[in-house]
Amino acid sequence: MIVQSIRHLAMSHKGIKIGLTALVLMTAFSALLFTTLQDNLQYYKYVDEVAAAPNEWEGKALQVHGYVVPGSILGTIDRLDWKFNLQRNGKVIRAYFTGPPPDNFKDDAEVVLTGQFTPNGFIATEMTAKCPSKYEEAPPAGPASARSS
């Protein structure tokens, strides 16, 4: 009887050790995963969303999607410093980019910027200009022609 009690106590003690070890490992793995993902977290927002609540997005890693305001592009190819305005749904933000722009960067271009929003505007580290569609919608089909037999 005493031997059985000792075995039972030893088995439950071993189970507790395994359970605690598993809990510690799961907690450590979860904390590591959380901190790793938090550093690489990046939001994808439209210009009107950022312009509506600029303080909410200040200093955060963002991708901002909008359209270049015609006539707002300032910069030259030799300096590679660009300033321009992005707009969507009537909301506008100022954007800055240093580097060679994409080939299709021009007035009204659809652009996605990667960087950070600051009190002075959006500081972009990457810029992608979307290609306009090369295909236009087909004209609607006319009435079917009648076949004669």
- 107 in helix, strand or coil? coil
Predicted pLDDT at 138? 54
Predicted pLDDT at 36? 64
Predicted pLDDT at 77? 74
Predicted pLDDT at 147? 47
Predicted pLDDT at 117? 92
The values of phi and psi at residue 124, to 5°, are: -95, 140
Q: Round to whole Å and give the CA distance between 147 and 75.
A: 62
Tokens linked to 132: 């306009």
Which CATH number is 43-129's, of 2.102.10.10, 2.40.50.140, 2.60.120.590, 3.40.50.150?
Answer: 2.40.50.140
The values of phi and psi at residue 63, to 5°, are: -115, 125
Kindly list the domain boundaries of the chain, sorted by start residue.
1-41, 43-129
Mean pLDDT, 10 residues at a time, the chain of 149 residues = 56 73 78 63 91 90 94 86 95 94 92 94 93 59 50
Q: Round to whole Å and give the CA distance between 15 and 117.
A: 52
Predicted pLDDT at 149? 44
Contact by Cβ (8 Å): 101, 124: no
- Partners of 87 in the β-ladder: 67, 92
- 28 in helix, strand or coil? helix
Strands (E), the chain: 43-46, 61-68, 81-88, 91-98, 110-118, 121-129
